[in-house]
Amino acid sequence: MERKSFRGIELSRLGMGNMRLPRVGDAPDGEIDYGRAEAIIDYAMASGINYYDTAWMYHGGKSEEFLGRALVARYPRDSFYVATKFHYQSNHDYKYVFNEQLRRLGTDHIDFYLCHAVMDNVYKDYLDCGCIDYLLEQRAAGRIRYLGFSSHATPQVLRIFADSYGRPWDFVQIQCNYYDWRYSTTREEYEILRDRGIPIMVMEPVRGGRLAQLTPGAERPLRAAHPDWTPASWALRWVRSLPQVQTVLSGMSTLGQIQNNVATFSDEESLSERDKGLLERACETFHDELSIPCTACRYCTDTCPAGIDIPQVLALANKVRMGSQGALRDIRKVEGGQPENCVGCAQCTEHCPQGIDTPAVMAEMSERLATAGV
Ligand code: SF4
Ligand code: SF4
């Protein structure tokens, strides 16, 4: 396992996320299957992974307890590093949360501690509630080794937060993958942190698994260049090649996943310039093949007998296809008709200059909403 120096210690390039541990009977809301989850921890430790990420509310609070039993109680305390997080919205009482986390994990210190999911609508709560002063005291007392935060904020707010409290941050965790680098604000976020010399822990390197399954036109040239590399492996290789990236987190639910990820991080072949160019074009192909090219001209809306705000639903459908559950819920907030009200009359298609098969998209969204119970 490749390692990289971090403030005097050596961290594995691959870190294990503990938010998607295997569940009993694979039920979506089932208890953690300790036997299978422990086997993953054992495989991770045997493979040289030494960074284990959890949070207050993962698995309803059971993820921290699981790590306490499967990792902290079974391996020498200096053979791994634990990261966990304070989530303001789940519980404002940061003192209680921190001490309870020490109890759950069965340890007297937490190696990496984060303010969790800093976003535009909550960052002021983190800045004003007193938690950062408290966490700095814990770091000074040795109960926290390194302090950071995870961010889903806009670049503007990320900049404000990174510069707050005299920049005490040892590291920051952001969503980073080649798709968001091209089509979202990841590149700007990365540059903000790089310019401040803050090491980056990466979450969602495969975009919640979405980049593990590309469209055929996107995958073909990648397979031709490296028949042995999976699409997920391309995504992991790309993100680990960024100089400011310290450790790449992957939430692993099966032994097969961790075996594949460990194999990728044990293979030192990095992306050549030609590979990077191929991946950039594959990303564009993936985006184009997946996207609905609605220009929001609204030529279709007046004639829809179901009263659906078609361009709004299509814009959200693009996000849903990229794995956003939030966008699926947002479809319910669109005023007017809903996808399941579509009667398939094709009036919209006749008026559409982009030739979009809107009834097919409505059927797809309707099915996705029903499956998700939204
Ligand atoms: S096919 Fe569906 S979305 Fe299109 S106009 Fe008819 S009812 Fe509206
Ligand atoms: S006519 Fe086509 S491009 Fe225009 S808003 Fe409707 S779906 Fe979008």
What would the two tokens of residue 108 be? 């007297």
- Whether 347 is in the pocket of ligand 1, judged by its Cβ within 6 Å, is yes
Nearest-CA residue for ligand 1 atom 7 is 342
Residue 83 pairs in a beta bridge with 53, 112
Strands (E), the chain: 3-6, 9-12, 14-17, 51-53, 81-86, 110-118, 144-151, 171-175, 200-203, 245-251
**pLDDT tens series, the chain, 374 aa:** 899 999 999 999 999 999 989 998 877 678 999 999 999 999 999 999 999 999 999 998 899 999 999 999 999 999 999 999 999 999 999 999 999 999 999 999 999 999 999 999 999 999 999 999 999 999 999 999 999 999 999 999 999 999 999 999 999 999 999 999 998 899 999 999 999 999 999 999 998 788 888 988 999 999 999 999 999 999 999 999 999 999 999 988 899 989 999 999 988 788 999 999 999 999 999 988 888 878 788 889 989 999 999 999 999 998 898 788 899 999 999 999 999 999 999 999 988 877 789 999 999 999 999 999 99
Residue 282 CB neighbour total at 10 angstroms: 23
Q: Is the dihedral of CA 257, 260, 262, 264 positive or negative?
A: negative
CB-CB contact of 328 with 374 (8 Å): yes
Domain segments of the chain: what residues? 3-282, 310-372
Of the CA atoms within 13 Å of residue 90, those in its CB half-sphere come to 17
Regarding beta strands 3-6 and 9-12, do their DSSP bridges make them parallel or antiparallel, or are they unpaired? antiparallel
pTM of the predicted structure, to 2 decimals: 0.83
Question: Which CATH architecture best describes the domain 3-282?
Answer: Alpha-Beta Barrel (3.20)
132 lines ligand 2 (CB under 6 A): no
- Give me the DSSP letters along 114-167: EEEEE-TTTHHHHHHSSHHHHHHHHHHTTSEEEEEEEE-S-HHHHHHHHHGGGS
Distance CA 100, CA 97 (A): 5
Q: How far is the CA of 361 from the centre of ligand 2 (A)?
A: 12
Q: Of the candidates 72, 139, 92, 130, which has an alpha carbon nearest to the alpha carbon of residue 112?
A: 139
In this structure, the strands spanning 144-151 and 14-17 are unpaired
Q: Whose CA is nearest to atom 5 of ligand 1?
A: 304
Q: How far apart are CA 251 and CA 259, in angstroms?
A: 13
The whole-angstrom separation of Cα 356 and Cα 314 is 10
- In this structure, what token pair is assigned to residue 240? 């680990």
311 pocket-lining for ligand 2 (C-beta < 6 Å):
yes
Measured distance CA(232)–CA(223) in Å, rounded? 12
